[in-house]
Every structure is written in structure tokens, then in C-alpha cells.
Amino acid sequence: MLVPDIHIRKILYATDLSENAKYAFAYAVNLSQTYKAGLTIMHVFEETARTEDLILSYISASQWEEIQKRNEEDARAILISKQQGHVTIGAVLQQFLAGARDESGKPAEFVVDEIVVERGNPVEKIIEVSESRHCDLIVMGSRGLGMIGKLMLGSTVQRTIQKSKIPVLVVRYPEK
């Protein structure tokens, strides 16, 4: 059997900012270092019709759009480290980046090509960004919710695997 060379030049790390995503980040960084690949970090604000309908019963559509736009811009600014002071998305991703250290305790060396903050369906946005940025691999965390969790919540990871044209590395959070 012929084993082809694997060339990974660009990695998309998709995070929902959970603890298991933080664990998956270590894999993304290590793969980035091993392959000398650029790393794109992505977070998607998920929009749901039920949530939006509920909100629109309290405020106007133009007010809601302004809030969404402002929050998206704030998150992007925080993620790019141009703005400090919020203890939300920016703090978590800054911790991901700043806390990346090798075994000796020195800061890990890896290249962050881009930080992407999108709004919409996470699966669609992850696929869209992976294709438009010509990524070779997607790295995501999984909680291992089991059958009932998958049926009730659906699985962003599962749907990403089904729709992706490139490999998806799913890093399961270790059980304690």
C-alpha cells in the first residue's frame, strides 16, 4: 500500500469557547508546530430563529440588528486584542493564545494567520471558512454527549464531519 505524504499548511481551529475546546486547542497548536502550518482560530455566534423571535417581541428589528453588529464588532476587537476589559469571549481566547506553553513552560511558537468571528449556523460557517481559506484540516473539541445529547441538541461536530471535504480532527474532552 502506497502511503502518500500529508501536507498540512493551514489548520482551522473551531472553538465554542468551552473547556473541551480549550483542550482541543492543544492539539491544534501541536499540529501547527509539527507541520509548520498556519492556524486560523474561529468562533461562531449561533443564531436561532426561536431566540430571535423572542427578542424581536421586545425590541425592533433595527435595534436587534444594531445590537448584533455591535456585539460582533466588540468580539472581533477583543479577539484581536485591540480592546481589553471584557471578561467574555476575548478573555477565553486570549487565555487560549497566551496560555499556550511548551513542556518547559516557554510560550509555544505557532503562527496565527487569522482570528475569525462569524454569526450564523456554526456548521455552515466552519465549512465556508475552511474552504475560503484553503484549510487542510479542521480541529474541534467534542464533549461526547452520547446518543440522547446528539438527538436532542444535534451535533455541530457530527454535521461538520459529514459536510467537510477535508479531514476533521475531533478531540474528545477526557473524562475525569
Is 4 part of a structural domain of the chain? no
Question: Considering Cα of 160, then 151, then 119, then 140, what sign does the dihedral take?
Answer: negative
So what's the pLDDT on residue 60?
Answer: 74
Range of weakest confidence among 18-22, 122-126, 127-131, 141-145: 141-145
The Cα–Cα gap between 12 and 167 comes to 11
Range of the domain at 46: 10-172
More confident residue, 86 or 77: 77
So what's the pLDDT on residue 98?
Answer: 65
The Cα–Cα gap between 119 and 80 comes to 17
Largest CA distance in the chain: 63
Cβ(13)–Cβ(36) below 8 Å: no
Find the mean pLDDT for residues 52-76: 68
Number of domains in the chain: 1
72: domain CATH number is 3.40.50.620
Is 5 part of a structural domain of the chain? no
**Global confidence as pTM:** 0.71
pLDDT in tens, 28-46: 999 998 999 999 999 887 7
